[in-house]
Amino acid sequence: MLQNLDSYFSEVEGYEIKDKESLEAFRLKYISKNGLVSGLFEEFKAVAPDQKKLFGSKLNQLKQLAEGRFKTIQDEIENQTAADDLAGFDFSLPLVPNPLGARHPLSITRSRIISIFEKIGFSVSDGPEIEDDYHNFTGLNFPPNHPAREMQDTFFIEKNPDMLLRTHTSTVQVRVMENQKPPIRSIMPGRVYRNEAISARAHCLFHQVEGLYIDKKVSFADLKNTLYYFVKELFGKDTQIRFRPSYFPFTEPSAEMDISCHICKGKGCNVCKHSGWVEIGGAGMVDPNVLETNGIDSQEFSGFAFGMGIERITMLKYGIKDLRLFTENDVRFLGQFKGNI
């Protein structure tokens, strides 16, 4: 019996395996459940006790030999198949791209604005969209029944006329002053609401970003330089900025900010109505009344504030002519911002 066993070694070693089929035949013949090795293990039970040790060790060697050959050749065949699959494959072909979504243009502008101000030490603050009269008006020096309240086209909450949808992000100015001591340096992006008929140039909801800087000896020159820095970062270093006197109850003096038209570079076009300038927001020195109302000593501290429209800035940056596009969710429009972050 032992001699028989010896002859199987050369048989297993010499078995010709050249492809998947002969490999399978090898497996069936030698190492499958009904194969030769299993059969020999059955016979092993009947081997005389004094031969068991030798027979058992040889049988295990045979088993390892058969399984080892099987594994080695199986790996070879698999590698070969993988190589065959790649033969003739053009590695220079471009990838089939997965269609990616695009960020909304307003989100792109918002992130840009935040990162520009973060670089010069501004933090980002937030506040609720449903506000009370105090944070939208009174705390910002709008006296009761003052006509400036009318200018804001407010949506009031019917059940509680003290509550409203905020008409500007200046509400967050008040909240920041309530909760922080100077020095304060923060921007406040957010959605605002006004009761206006929807058209290409006006909408009942839009976005603003407010800025507030309060410290000792803050001057109008600081305001101008901060905004210069901002528009040059966002629109390019040739952009000009100008301030026109204006009125807001919460700033004194107040100004409206224009930048040289990004589309025609100041030469005059439809977007800037041939003036070469476009308005991007309001600004001014925080009115001492507002500082005092919010518990900040106006003798010790001064500050500036500004507010800009995110839609307006986005329209200028990308040459978008209709505000409604931002809320219509048309993928033909949104898809054009792919790759922008």
Task: Choose the stretch contacting ligand PHE; rule: CB under 6 A; options: 20-28, 65-73, 301-309, 328-336.
Answer: 301-309
As beta bridge partners, residue 206 has 192
**CA dihedral of 280, 205, 173, 160, whole degrees rounded to 10:** 150
Contact track, ligand PHE, 40-79, x by CB under 6 A: ----------------------------------------
**Binding residue (CB under 6 A) for ligand PHE from 30, 248, 277, 337:** 248
Q: Of 257, 305, 310, 316, which lies in the binding site for ligand PHE, with binding defined by CB under 6 A?
A: 305
State which of residues 69, 142, 176, 210 lies at the interface with ligand PHE (CB under 6 A): 210
Measured at CB, which residue is nearest to ligand PHE?
307
Enumerate the H helices of the chain as residue ranges: 2-14, 20-26, 36-44, 49-86, 105-119, 133-136, 147-150, 170-179, 220-235, 288-293, 310-318, 325-328, 331-334
Shortest CA distance to 251 belongs to which of 219, 283, 292? 283
Distance CA 288, CA 149 (A): 20
Among 182, 190, 282, 303, binds ligand PHE (CB under 6 A): 282
Residues 163-192 that bind ligand PHE (CB under 6 A): 168, 170
CA atoms 31, 34, 40, 45: torsion sign: positive
Considering only the stretches 28-36, 61-69, 99-107, 304-312, report the one whose residues sit in contact with ligand PHE under the rule CB under 6 A. Answer: 304-312
> Minimum distance from CB of 105 to ligand PHE (Å)?
21
Cα–Cα distance for residue pair 175/197, rounded to 1 Å:
30
- Select from 8, 284, 291, 323 the one that contacts ligand PHE (CB under 6 A): 284
The rounded distance, in Å, linking the Cα atoms of 336 and 341 is 12
- Considering the complex, state which of residue 251 and residue 314 has its C-beta at the smaller distance from ligand PHE: 251
Integer CA distances (angstroms), 110 to 121, 218, 312, in order: 17, 26, 12
Using CB under 6 A as the binding rule, the residues of this chain from 105 to 144 that contact ligand PHE are none
- Can you give the binding site for ligand PHE, defined by CB under 6 A? 168, 170, 210, 248, 251, 282-284, 305-307
